[in-house]
Amino acid sequence: MRLSAAARPRHRRRTRTLTLATAVAVAAGGAGLWLGVSQDAARAATTVVVSDTAALQSAVASATAGTTIQVRGGTYYPTSTLKSTANGTAANRITLTAYGSEQVRIDGSRLPAGSWLMAIYGDHWTVQNVRFQKSPAHGFVATSSVGGVFKNLVTSDNGDSGFTLRGDGTTGNLIQNLDSYGNYDAAAHGQNADGLAIKFGSGTGNRVTGVRLFNNADDGIDLWQWASPVTIEHTWAFGNGRNRWNDPAFEGNGNGFKLGGGGATAAHAVNNNAAWDNTQHGFTENGNTAALGLSRNTSYANRQSGFFFETGTARLAANLAVANGGGLAKLGPATVSARNNWDSGVATPPFRSTDASSVYGARKADGSLPATAFLTTGSTTIGSTMD
């Protein structure tokens, strides 16, 4: 049984930065390495600096509340899933991060078939400034996580979804400034590999912001069988669902924002996002009959509808749809639609630019989306602000 944050013991923070040799020994339970500080007290605020794969795997497996794992620049090739069942606390988080501004790639190309690259089964983790790539299956998975912060990550070219939240009791997690692209599940011919999957579970307070989800085999974001509201904002989904892998039996879907499915109903909040150049809909309820709220989103040049909400009770306001192959919006009788550009009397402001090249640019210094004129209009009342 997990203790509540209030019931868990707190420790006075004392930090020890460990060399590589010390880190490996500590992970193995070595004695006499705490320099006069009790193991319990030191582990409450221990910084472990690692620079090879064995040390990284040991440090993740043995992390406890208060551990910070700093990974030196380079590419790491684990031979088994980086896995932890440890819980941090609100006061003593577990952190995995790049060392300073160094570039870290964790590469799954040497994992056994079907393996996930990283799997967290614990609370109050911070994972940031790391790329997870080339896994034979999922890139990064957090299961039943409470209070996770997942920031400035890249999940690319994995054999299933790039980033996944799953499980009941998944509450209060932040996914910020993620880039997830090129993910493709060959075994299922592309039908499961999303950029971001929040699937098969429940939990409130989960937020997605500043994310780019592009060129994935299946959908940009997929909320299949997720039973609690998720907030999605300032996120772009584009180029999903194309057969970039020359798969003759390709089955990728290609929605930008798939906001339900599998019988789960939840009133997700979807504000100030954009979807373009996807092979299905820009935004779709996918059978979610709850009162989804969509405001100031832009859907452009998707192969099917800009907004597809035919069966539910969604509320759509101040959204903008242009040049979608299946029409601007397909709405059912229970959908509430107001101040969108398909509504009577609402003008469609012109785009400043339809050249998407800038959206692939480097992120700003704080990790936020790159500056772009693409799909901007200058309007203060309708459509995404693209920032």
- The torsion of the CA quartet 255, 257, 260, 266, rounded to 10 degrees, works out to -170
- The pair of three-digit structure tokens given for residue 155, joined into one six-digit string: 């999940």
- Residues serving a catalytic function are 258
Q: Residue 80 class from Cβ within 10 Å (0-12 exposed, 13-18 middle, 19+ buried)?
A: exposed
Say which residues have a Cβ less than 8 Å from residue 278's Cβ, sequence separation at least 6: 219, 220, 237, 238, 239, 240, 241, 254, 255, 256, 302, 303
How far apart are the C-alpha atoms of 274 and 220, rounded to whole Å? 11
Residue 300 exposure: Cα atoms within 13 Å on the Cβ side = 24
Q: How far is CA 208 from the centre of its chain?
A: 7
How far apart are the C-alpha atoms of 110 and 107, rounded to whole Å? 8
- The pair of three-digit structure tokens given for residue 130, joined into one six-digit string: 């790391």
Residue 70: what are its φ and ψ, rounded to 5°? -105, 125
